[in-house]
Structure 1
Amino acid sequence: MTPLPHDRHWLPHDRYCDELAHQVGLLRAVVTSGADLSATVPTCPDWSLERLVRHTGGALRWSEVMVRNRAREAAPEDRGPWGEGPVSAAELDAWLAETGELLVATLREAGPDAEVWSWAGIPTSGFWARRMTHELTIHRADAALAVGQPYEVAADIAADAIDEWLQIIELVQRTVPHDAARELRGPGRSIHLHATDGPWGTVVELTEDVIVRRSGHEKATVELRGPLTAVLLAFYRRLPLDSPELEVRGERDLLEFWLERATFG
């Protein structure tokens, strides 16, 4: 497989481990807040809050097995002894706590460079530390939004989550040329993501080949402006573009076109 674009401008491995532990704690707080675990998650409408937590914890456990075993290929997605049926908030919380402790301990022991299979062609434990940090960060947003809790994420994590998402889109364009990825190709169009609460900005240029991303601020076909957390959530399709925190300048149709087609594949 052609690897994920890997410029290694990642956060330190320990930063991902620390954030995983932090985000697990925040997700546990949602679980134990008295929220209805059977309630539908608006940003993942096929899931209840319980199912969202099961999915997220299951992904963390699966990646922990992969790293612990230094897997050479994808492990079966049997993500631990977690059956179907009703479960209490206390049981779900305990399982999630154990999940986080297992994953963080395994990642710290492995360090960033242990050889582990990945679907993105970066066969390292560091890939899984980064990927699971952002998997958890975004699904914690789903949970918080579902129960009406405020959501915020550290600027370095939010910026890295956007950068990883763009790298994944580039990977999909190069290796899984399905219709949606092909439709994003074509010159003369660009998207500027602009944080209004700090210096961060990035530009996504659509080309005939694959997207080109670069840091900084410059004129673009369309600009998405707002606090970095809000830009992150909008770019991950968790926050509507009409939200009061956000401003869209320029050709909004292009941004909507992107959001409809940017996908893992």
Structure 2
Amino acid sequence: MTDYRAQIQSETERLAALAGDLSVPVPTCPGWTLAELVTHVGRLHRWAVHMLRGQVRERLWSRQVPDGLAEGATGDAAWLTAGAAELLETLASTDPDTEVWTWGPDNRASWWPRRMFFESLVHRADAELALGIDPEIPAGTAIDGIEEFLHNLPYAVWVTRSLAGLGLEGATIHLHASDADGEWTITQGPAGKIEWARGHAKGDAAVKGPVSDLLLLLYGRRSPDALTVHGDRELLDRWLSTASL
């Protein structure tokens, strides 16, 4: 079983180490600097703490949870790591089967560690890209991240609502890892919902490349230009620009 708590700690430490000059722009999060990026991640951690400690069973978003910052202030590395420590302590003391609200398909506390890990990982990659560093993501982690993304995407109503407007029902996109045992086919369903399956198949559009790049592609952090694309590139671009969480 993956130790997501240890990985959250590692990713937070890596992001904190990158948070020197907080004025650096983050191109993969338009309009943000590293200050906004760090603040966003720290707020997500505190959101999870609030949901789990309070066993909250109704919808509540991160912006509705106190973050300990003064009005208009942004967080720094110390504030980020303090929030992560509180999250790790909370995850360790919470029964995974505790019923809580999530925006995904699993309304239990066990949903939160995996989600917070990949939030932390992707935003660590944002910081690295902003600083000219090529993100490194182990293949096994990237495979897990792709499947976590696809597992949750059908329940991200703010995304499926937009996907429904594309008129792509029945379209398929195939992802093929070139450096790991990983292939997935995404099928666009009705009302913007998606279905997905592991394994080899032919899609209307297909993308092949390192599995870490496929993960970053799904999150809108890597351009298809950096990978090998077959089939309907316009379909791929439209879907990716809409589906990114």
Structure 2 length as normaliser, TM-score?
Answer: 0.88
Say if 1:218 and 1:30 are closer, same or farther in 2 by CA, change over 3 A: same
Equivalent residue for 1:29, pick from 17, 32, 36? 17
1:202 paired residue among 184, 197, 217:
184
Label 1:114 to 1:140 Cα distance change in 2 as closer, same or farther (>3 A).
same
Counterpart residue type for residue 233 of structure 2: R
Number of residue pairs the alignment of both structures matches: 242
| CA apart distance, 1:146 | 0.6
Distance 1:80 1:45, change over 3 A: same
Alignment of 1:66-85 (within 5 A): 66-75=51-60, 77-83=64-70
Whether 1:231 aligns to 2:218 is: no
Structure 2, unmatched stretches of 5+, are: none
Offset at 1:140? 1.2
The C-alpha deviation readout for 1:7-32, integer Å capped at 9, x for no partner, is: xxxxx3x522121111111111211x
Indicate if the aligned counterparts of 2:220 and 2:244 stay in contact, CA closer than 8 A: no
Runs of 4+ in 1 over 4 A off after TM superposition: 84-87
Question: Could you say which residue in structure 2 is the equivalent of 1:9?
Answer: none
The answer to whether residue 49 in structure 2 is matched with residue 61 in structure 1 is: no
Identity of aligned residues (%): 36
Instruction: State the partner residue of 2:5.
Output: 17
Give the RMSD, CA atoms, in angstroms: 2.4
Gaps of 5+ in 1: 1-11
1:221 aligns with 2:207: no
CA shift for structure 1 position 105: 1.5
Secondary structure of the structure 1 residue equivalent to 2:30: strand
Measure, in 2, the Cα distance between the counterparts of 1:148 and 1:84: 31
SS at match of 1:183: coil
What secondary structure sits across from 1:44 in the alignment? coil
Cα deviations across residues 202-260 of structure 1 (Å, max 9, x unaligned)?
A: 111234464221011222222111111111111111111112xx111222112112112
TM-score of the superposition, structure 1-length normalised?
0.82
1:170 and 1:180 map into 2 onto residues whose CA distance is: 10
Residue from 120, 124, 130 that aligns with 1:146: 130
Q: How far apart, CA to CA, are the structure 1 residues paired with 2:179 and 2:167?
A: 29
The residue that corresponds to 1:180 in the other structure is 163
The 3-state SS of whatever aligns with 1:22 is helix
1:102 aligns with 2:86: yes
CA distance in 2, matches of 1:177, 1:105: 34
Which amino acid letter does the alignment assign opposite residue 215 of structure 2?
Answer: L
